[in-house]
Amino acid sequence: MFDRLEQLEARYDELAHQLAQPEIQQDREAYQKTAKQHRDLEETVETYRNWKQTRQSLDDARQMLADADLREMAAEEVAVLEPRLAELESALRILLLPKDPNDDKNVILEIRAGTGGDEASLFAAEVFRMYTRLAEQHRWKVEILSISESAVGGMKEVIALIEGNRVYSQLKYESGVHRVQRVPATETQGRVHTSAVTVAVLPEAEEVDIKIEAKDLRIDTFCSSGPGGQSVNTTYSAIRITHLPTNTVVSCQDEKSQIKNREKAMRVLRSRLYEVEMERQHAALARERKQQVGTGDRSEKIRTYNYPQNRLTDHRIGLTLHQLDLILEGRLQPVLDALNAHDQAEQLKASSAHAA
């Protein structure tokens, strides 16, 4: 491990030297590429340097134990530095785990009402609100790309782009079936009903990530419609794009401009095709992925929101929190942190088994 860290530290210093060169500073593309590589190494290298400094301080403190006049002070310092060194070493092991290349990407968030009719559409709207509140805390930007509202004020479907710092790294474990247990407003006998929505989190794909040929697309235009199917726009501004090789269909009618709707639909299409490509590449790793947080399969029931008990349960890691009211206000971070920690622990376990 430490040989690898020495190599990364040397590479970090080399990149810093390159960034100071006039020829790099005058080439915007080269500068941005080099700066990103340097930034990606920063946390690991800084942690390693902190580890080396702490280790040196610990060695010095241990030597001072031989001095009767300094023994008590040295013992106190050793008691502080030993666990600190262990913490830094654990952090380094996590930092050296293979990085998900999509972690820095923005995401396309898709939420659809499932079983439960109107109640499911109302819950879909609440789940979307939960994610928008979370986005506000992280200062992420949320842009609705497509929305289909229900007659009762819920959402049959909503597709949104979330842009910001490392959005996918935080939301990548949210794909799956989210189940709600509560008494609907229309229930007169107080019985608890179960409904569900599906959530899909796709890393936003750039044009360089996925190549789409114009000949592979069929583009149809139609009038926008509102709840119940009534027409809300007499111009053919809504767009439906079909990717013929995969029969992937994307519709967008949120904007009054056909051009804007087409741009949004293409962003969603690229991300869906990118997801298909990722799944194909990951097929060989399917068994390993199932040992981690989950497969990412949107048909997998991942979480239950129980209103009567104010309880959220994530079934993949056995996490239960009795603070559903706060979580629905966007305070989802403890759940996201637990999912990431679980996945890191599984990767470390797999790494140790492989090394053995």
Q: With bands split at pLDDT 50, 70 and 90, how would you rate the model's confidence at 222?
A: confident
Kindly state the average pLDDT of the residues 60-67: 92
Using the predicted structure, report yes or no on whether residue 293 has a pLDDT greater than 60.
no
Domain assignment present for 255: yes
Quote the strand ranges of 262-348, DSSP E.
Answer: 301-306, 311-314, 319-321
Among 33, 7, 4, which Cα is nearest to 19's?
33
pLDDT score, position 89: 93
What mean pLDDT value characterizes the chain? 86
- 3-state secondary structure (DSSP) of residue 78: helix
Using the predicted structure, report yes or no on whether residue 264 has a pLDDT greater than 50.
yes
Kindly state the average pLDDT of the residues 238-255: 85
Using the predicted structure, report yes or no on whether residue 300 has a pLDDT greater than 60.
yes
Using the predicted structure, report yes or no on whether residue 289 has a pLDDT greater than 50.
no
Domain assignment present for 61: yes
pLDDT score, position 81: 95
pLDDT score, position 252: 83
Please tell me whether residues 247 and 333 are part of one structural domain: yes
* β 141-149/107-113 pair status: unpaired
Angle value at C-alpha 191, between 189 and 196, nearest 5 degrees: 135
Please tell me whether residues 72 and 148 are part of one structural domain: no
Which residue in this structure is represented by tokens 């898709």? 110
* β 176-182/301-306 pair status: parallel
Q: Which of 20-29, 197-206, 227-236, 303-312 has the lowest mean pLDDT?
A: 227-236
What distance separates the 2 farthest-apart alpha carbons in the chain?
91
Using the predicted structure, report yes or no on whether residue 235 has a pLDDT greater than 60.
no
User: Of 95, 123, 141, which residue constitutes the final position of a domain?
Assistant: 95
Domain assignment present for 89: yes
What CATH number corresponds to the domain at position 33?
A: 1.20.58
Q: CA-to-CA distance for 314 and 303, rounded, in angstroms?
A: 4
Domain assignment present for 35: yes
pTM score: 0.73
pLDDT score, position 263: 85
Domain assignment present for 352: no
Higher pLDDT, 284 or 89: 89
User: Any bridge partners for residue 284, and if so which?
Assistant: none
Cβ count within 10 A of residue 96: 16
Using the predicted structure, report yes or no on whether residue 267 has a pLDDT greater than 70.
yes
Q: With bands split at pLDDT 50, 70 and 90, how would you rate the model's confidence at 299?
A: low
Kindly state the average pLDDT of the residues 284-298: 46
Are the CB atoms for 347 and 326 separated by under 8 Å? no
- For the beta sheet containing 301-306, the strands, ordered from the edge strand earlier in sequence to the opposite edge, are 141-149, 155-163, 107-113, 193-203, 176-182, 301-306, 311-314, 319-321
Please tell me whether residues 265 and 235 are part of one structural domain: yes
Please tell me whether residues 53 and 137 are part of one structural domain: no
Kindly state the average pLDDT of the residues 187-199: 85
Higher pLDDT, 294 or 151: 151
Using the predicted structure, report yes or no on whether residue 99 has a pLDDT greater than 90.
no
Higher pLDDT, 285 or 313: 313
Number of structural domains in the chain? 2
The sign of the dihedral angle between the CA atoms of 193, 296, 130, 315 is positive
Using the predicted structure, report yes or no on whether residue 228 has a pLDDT greater than 70.
no
Using the predicted structure, report yes or no on whether residue 336 has a pLDDT greater than 90.
yes
Using the predicted structure, report yes or no on whether residue 319 has a pLDDT greater than 90.
yes
pLDDT score, position 266: 86
Q: CA-to-CA distance for 54 and 70, rounded, in angstroms?
A: 19
Please tell me whether residues 18 and 77 are part of one structural domain: yes
User: Of 45, 74, 95, which residue constitutes the final position of a domain?
Assistant: 95
- 3-state secondary structure (DSSP) of residue 228: helix
Please tell me whether residues 223 and 296 are part of one structural domain: yes
Using the predicted structure, report yes or no on whether residue 156 has a pLDDT greater than 60.
yes
Using the predicted structure, report yes or no on whether residue 314 has a pLDDT greater than 90.
yes
pLDDT score, position 281: 62
Among 294, 302, 297, 292, which Cα is nearest to 347's?
292
pLDDT score, position 351: 74
**3-state class percentages of the chain: helix first, strand second, coil last, to nearest 5:** 50, 20, 30
Please tell me whether residues 176 and 325 are part of one structural domain: yes
pLDDT score, position 280: 72
Share of the chain above pLDDT 70, in %: 88
Kindly state the average pLDDT of the residues 284-296: 46
Using the predicted structure, report yes or no on whether residue 283 has a pLDDT greater than 80.
no
Are the CB atoms for 200 and 175 separated by under 8 Å? yes
What CATH number corresponds to the domain at position 164?
A: 3.30.70.1660
pLDDT score, position 208: 61
Q: CA-to-CA distance for 288 and 291, rounded, in angstroms?
A: 5
Cα torsion through 263, 266, 267, 268, rounded to 10: 130
pLDDT, tens digit, 9 for 90 and up, residues 8-42? 999 999 999 999 999 999 998 899 889 989 998 99
Please tell me whether residues 173 and 28 are part of one structural domain: no
Enter the DSSP assignment of 203. Answer: E
Domain assignment present for 190: yes
Are the CB atoms for 66 and 73 separated by under 8 Å? no
Please tell me whether residues 155 and 40 are part of one structural domain: no
Domain assignment present for 102: no
Inter-residue long-range contacts of 229-234, CB under 8 Å, 24+ positions, other chains counted: none
User: Of 61, 95, 129, which residue constitutes the final position of a domain?
Assistant: 95
Q: With bands split at pLDDT 50, 70 and 90, how would you rate the model's confidence at 353?
A: low
Q: CA-to-CA distance for 160 and 117, rounded, in angstroms?
A: 22
Q: CA-to-CA distance for 15 and 272, rounded, in angstroms?
A: 35
Kindly state the average pLDDT of the residues 90-113: 89
Which residue in this structure is represented by tokens 């959220």? 312
Are the CB atoms for 76 and 326 separated by under 8 Å? no
Please tell me whether residues 163 and 69 are part of one structural domain: no
Q: CA-to-CA distance for 225 and 227, rounded, in angstroms?
A: 7
Q: CA-to-CA distance for 145 and 255, rounded, in angstroms?
A: 8
What's the domain range around 28?
Answer: 2-95
Please tell me whether residues 61 and 160 are part of one structural domain: no
Domain assignment present for 101: no
Q: CA-to-CA distance for 169 and 340, rounded, in angstroms?
A: 9
Please tell me whether residues 214 and 244 are part of one structural domain: yes
